Amino acid sequence: MTDSAPEALRALEAVIFAAEAPLGLADLARHVGERGDLPELLRQLASSYAPRGIILVERGGRWSFQTAPDLAHHLRPTREAVRKLSRAAVETLSVIAYHEPVTRPEIEEIRGVAASPGTLDVLMEAGWVRPAGRRETPGRPLQYATTPGFLAHFNLTTRRDLPGLADLKAAGLLDREPPRELPLPLGGREE
Amino acid sequence: MTDSAPEALRALEAVIFAAEAPLGLADLARHVGERGDLPELLRQLASSYAPRGIILVERGGRWSFQTAPDLAHHLRPTREAVRKLSRAAVETLSVIAYHEPVTRPEIEEIRGVAASPGTLDVLMEAGWVRPAGRRETPGRPLQYATTPGFLAHFNLTTRRDLPGLADLKAAGLLDREPPRELPLPLGGREE
Amino acid sequence: MPATGYSLPDILRHEPGLISEDFEEGPPRSMPGAAAPPSLILQLGSWEGPLDLLLTLARSQKVDLAQISILDLVEQYLDFIRDARALSLELAADYLVMAAWLAYLKSALLLPPEPDMEPDAQEMALKLQFQLQRLDAMRDAGQKLLARPQLGWDNFRRAAPEGLSTDIQSRYECSLFDMFSAYGGIQARAQHGVHVVRRRPVMALDEAIERLARLLGQTLDWAELARYLPHDLADEGYARSVLASSFVATLELVRTGRAEVSQGAAFSPILIRGRA
């Protein structure tokens, strides 16, 4: 290596850095001139970058800088966004928790409404619900059940810790009176 | 420096490298986490790049990689020539840079002519000048100032690096009014 | 005493050709003298207005602007304007305004100072010199800026950076209470549904018509409808059904001419009798 090498290395790295796309040997030679052994210079440059956060890589004979793969999480850091579950999702979750393993048609029957497609997905994304095999009945419907993450989130040791219907009623959670019937104006009868 | 420093340096260089625009300390902290003394890490990183063909620069508190200026001749053939600024635009730019924040009437007073409509637009389109609030004087005139993009374009770390700024300030030439104690070199008057 | 009472900045900023283009931030500036139509504007060489011309003339004195002779400069400017007029060059109005102002400044500087003169001639001269120095400094600074290495010409950033982004990971909020009350809500809904759907003991309309017709056939006197209803019905729901069906049956019998119905007032007892 002559003492012009550092200059050539500097030129190479600047050219590769500023390029719009990975550059082949011919492109590089055109930009930095025919200085010595280009492949050898590129190898030197690559090894000088190897421990860094930016690395020099060859892909199909073309060279470019890119970020070191192990640092990807810094480039796309994840930020937590707290979201409130929809009422449909909370209801579906409770049905699964009380009736697992339960199929989707059963959930719909218990809730009295058709499930929107996203509801179960949200619960699975939250990590609270998992598919739990197929039921061996006609149509072999998929069953759903809660996960250990569900128990952990709600601080439950087992599913048996869920309050029963009687408990819910005692807590006032079932006392939703149906609307009173309208009085009939036909008189007579009460006397 | 703890032994996590190299990791932090790698993360910093990857993030700055991948970013679409120069990053300030807050952006960097968001991506690499609060690791030690960011300004000190940036200084270390900058000095490790100083001899290279790519350098780490601070422009108006934002950090980015760019090619070393002495290598321009290797790179220019690939790039279009920069647009030529009109004399009025250059003059307006320097008036804003040295007097900011400055109102349009002040710019016109300093230049001795009414600003033509296109001049400020050109500078704002280039991303070098921005409106910088209104001055709380009668008429509440809009003020103008330079941007980090201006500092980046002219390779200035901060406004303090503007050529001759200290001398002009010392000579009172950046004041709104002539200094009172200026001698009166009125030539012919004395005889 | 010349009639020029304008302060220097007013004159310098005045440019008739651009008078229609007023600035967003200020009221229209008052114009000394009549507005010259834009056609009168003449770019004298490459000067950008009278201050630029003055600066060019000042530089020809080949001394530091701080040492310049304002009186000499005034002479130079007035000579220049005279020459231009001799050549029948049309001058933009602001060059002439400047000439008038400089002529005034010159006389004020040469005459013994008047104590009550505002502004003071020395101060005006000083301000002119300051403005020349300042403009010169700004020009110089602009050139120095342009001489600096420039991004996109002398150095370059990456052409196509990948960019940074932030992945948003959702964390769902749901309390145990939310879940229990949701389940309670489902159960309550289900119970309410039973009330609506379950088949209840009712007296069908056909049955009521048949029964009422049979009872009415035995008497032609007016009697309260309630008297024809079965007594001691334990099921309140069934009792209501009997009442409703019997009332509708009454209307049906009246419609078919087999009974008459009468009510003295709203909510008073309904009277019914059969028709033979």
Strand pairing report for A54-59 and A62-67: antiparallel
Q: By the 8 A CB rule, do B141 and B102 touch? A: no
Query: Regarding predicted confidence, which is higher, C37 or B164?
Result: B164
Higher pLDDT, C252 or C64: C252
Average pLDDT, chain B: 84
Name the nearest CA neighbour of C158 among A137, A12, B167, B65. Answer: B65
For the stretch C137-194, pLDDT in tens is: 999 999 999 888 888 778 788 887 877 777 777 778 888 788 888 888 887 777 654 4
Tell me chain A's radius of gyration from C-alpha atoms.
33
Mean per-residue pLDDT, B161-165: 93
pLDDT at B134 over 50: yes
Do C134 and B173 count as a contact with CB atoms less than 8 A apart? Answer: yes
- In angstroms, the CA A184 to CA C25 distance is 75
- CB-nearest to B10 from A9, A52, A65 is A52
Highest mean pLDDT among A26-30, B55-59, B174-178, C214-218: B55-59
Which whole number is the average pLDDT over A83-107?
88
Interface test with B, best of C64, C145, C166 (most B CBs within 10 A): C145
Q: Is A186 a residue whose pLDDT tops 70?
A: no
> What is the token pair recorded at A169?
């009623």
Beta carbons of B129 and B93 less than 8 angstroms apart: yes
Q: C87 vs chain B: nearest CA distance in angstroms?
A: 25
Scanning C121-160 for CB atoms below 8 A from A yields 156-160
Does residue C20 have a pLDDT over 60? no
Is the pLDDT score of A2 beyond 50?
Answer: no
Distance of CA C192 to CAs A93, A99, A112, C185, C186, Å? Answer: 22, 20, 11, 11, 10
User: Rounded to an integer, what distance in angstroms lies between the CA atom of residue B118 and that of residue B110?
Assistant: 18
Query: Using the beta-carbon criterion (under 8 Å), do C163 and B184 form an inter-chain contact?
Result: no
Looking up tokens 């807050």 gives B26
The chains in contact with chain B, meaning 3 or more Cβ pairs closer than 8 Å, are A, C
The pLDDT score that the predictor gives to residue C26 is 37
pLDDT of residue C60: 83
Segment C75-113, tens digit of pLDDT: 999 998 888 887 777 777 888 889 999 999 998 888 877
Q: What is the mean pLDDT of residues C219-225?
A: 81
Dump pLDDT digits (tens) for A131-150: 988 988 888 889 999 988 88
DSSP string, A78-90: EEEEEEEPPHHHH
CA distance B154 to B139: 33
Q: Which residues in chain B are contacts of C48 at CB distance < 8 A? A: 87-88, 111-113
Predicted pLDDT of residue C217: 77
**B·C CB contacts under 8 A:** 188
Nearest CA in chain C to A78: C167
Q: Which residues of A touch C265 (CB under 8 A)?
A: none
What is the reported pLDDT for A178? 40
Q: How many Å apart are CA C254 and CA C225, to the nearest integer?
A: 13
Nearest one of A13, B190, A170 to C67, comparing CA atoms: B190
Out of A10-14, A77-81, A157-161, C47-51, least confident range: A77-81
Q: Would the CB atoms of A19 and B77 count as touching at under 8 Å? A: no
Listing DSSP states for A51-116 in one string gives TSSEEEEEETTEEEEEE-GGGHHHHS-EEEEEEEPPHHHHHHHHHHHHH-SEEHHHHHHHHTSPPP
Q: What is the Cα gyration radius of chain C?
A: 54
DSSP-derived 3-state class of residue C82: helix
What number of other Cβ atoms are within 10 A of residue C2's Cβ? 11
**pLDDT at residue A74 in the model:** 84
Residue A189's nearest CA partner among C138, C231, C73 is C231
Residues from chain C that touch B186, judged by Cβ atoms under 8 A, are 69-71, 109, 122, 125
Q: What is the band of B83 on the pLDDT scale with cuts at 50, 70, 90? A: low
pLDDT of residue C93: 82
**B60-71 confidence digits (pLDDT tens):** 899 999 999 888
Closest of B88, B67, C271, C150 to residue A10, by C-alpha: B67
Residue B90, pLDDT above cutoff 80: yes
In Å, what is the CA distance from C11 to each residue of A153, B11, C20, C209? 76, 58, 17, 109
pLDDT for C264 equals 85
Whether A94 sits inside 8 A of C267 (CB atoms) is: no
Q: How high is the pLDDT of residue A50? A: 92
Band (A5; pLDDT cuts 50, 70, 90): low
- The least confident of A182-191, B12-21, B79-88, C99-108 is A182-191
Q: Which residues contact C134 (CB under 8 A, 6 or more apart)?
A: B110, B173
**pLDDT for the residue numbered C46:** 64
* Mean pLDDT of all residues belonging to chain C: 75
Q: Indicate if the pLDDT at residue C19 is higher than 60.
A: no
Q: Do β-strands B102-103 and B142-146 pair in parallel, antiparallel, or remain unpaired?
A: antiparallel
Q: What angle do CA A74, A79, A83 make, to 5 degrees?
A: 165
Question: pLDDT value at position A183?
Answer: 40
Q: For residues A11 and A34, is the Cβ–Cβ distance under 8 A?
A: no
pLDDT given for residue C124 in this prediction = 87
- How many angstroms separate the CA of residue B65 from the nearest CA in chain C? 6
Cross-chain residue pair A52–B12, CB shorter than 8 Å = no
Cα end-to-end span (Å), chain B: 70
Q: How far apart are the first and last CA of chain C?
A: 131
The per-residue pLDDT for range B12-47, each reduced to its tens digit, is: 999 999 998 899 999 899 888 877 789 999 999 999
Q: What does the pLDDT average to over C105-127?
A: 81
CB pairs < 8 Å spanning A and B: 74
User: Which of C119-151 are b and which e, b meaning 16 or more Cβ less than 10 Å from the residue's Cβ?
Assistant: eebeebbbbbbbbbbbbebbbebbeebeebebb
Cβ distance of B78 and A19 shorter than 8 Å? yes
Q: Which of A91-95, B66-70, B153-157, C41-45 has the lowest mean pLDDT?
A: C41-45
- Between chains, do B188 and C72 touch, taking CB under 8 Å as contact? yes
* φ/ψ bin of B139: left (φ > 0), alpha (ψ from -120 to 50), beta (otherwise): left
**Residue C39 scores a pLDDT above 60:** no
Helical packing angle, A104-111 and C176-197, nearest 10°: 70
Q: Indicate the range of A68-72, A133-137, C29-33, C207-211 predicted with least confidence.
A: C29-33
* Amino acid present at A146: T
Phi, psi of C6 (to 5 degrees): -75, 145
d(CA C184, CA A165): 8
What are A's interface residues with B at a Cβ cutoff of 8 A? 6, 9-15, 17-19, 31-32, 51-54, 65, 67-68, 71, 74-75, 77
Cis peptide, bond prior to residue A101, ω within 30 of zero: yes
**Given 3-state DSSP classes, what are the helix, strand and coil percentages for chain A, each rounded to the nearest 5?**
45, 20, 35
Task: Report the pLDDT value the prediction gives residue B4, as an integer from 0 to 100.
Answer: 55
Q: Note whether C156 contacts A18, CB cutoff 8 Å.
A: yes
Q: How many beta carbons lie within 10 A of that of residue B152, not counting itself?
A: 26
Which range among B92-96, B143-147, C227-231 shows the weakest confidence by mean pLDDT? C227-231
What is the pLDDT at residue C199? 59
Q: CA angle, B147 as apex, B144 and B148 as ends, to 5°?
A: 165
CB contact under 8 A, A83 and C173: yes
> Whose CA is closest to C127, among C7, C2, C13, C6?
C7
Residue B54, beta-bridge partner list: B67
List chains adjacent to chain A, taking adjacency as at least 3 C-beta pairs closer than 8 Å. Answer: B, C
How many Cβ atoms from other residues are within 10 Å of residue A129's Cβ?
Answer: 25
> Alpha-carbon distance C112 to B61, whole Å?
56
Q: Do A83 and C172 touch (CB under 8 A)?
A: yes
The interface residues of chain C toward chain B in range 66-125, judged by CB-CB distance below 8 A, are 66-72, 109-110, 122, 125
User: Average pLDDT of chain A?
Assistant: 80
What tokens does A29 get? 């030679």
C partners (3+ CB pairs within 8 A) are A, B
Contact (Cβ atoms closer than 8 angstroms) between residue C166 and residue A77: yes
Is the bond preceding C161 in cis, omega lying within 30 degrees of 0?
no
Which residue, among C186, C86, C165, has the nearest Cα to A79 in the 3D structure? Answer: C165
Spatial distance between the Cα atoms of C210 and C246, rounded to a whole number of angstroms: 10
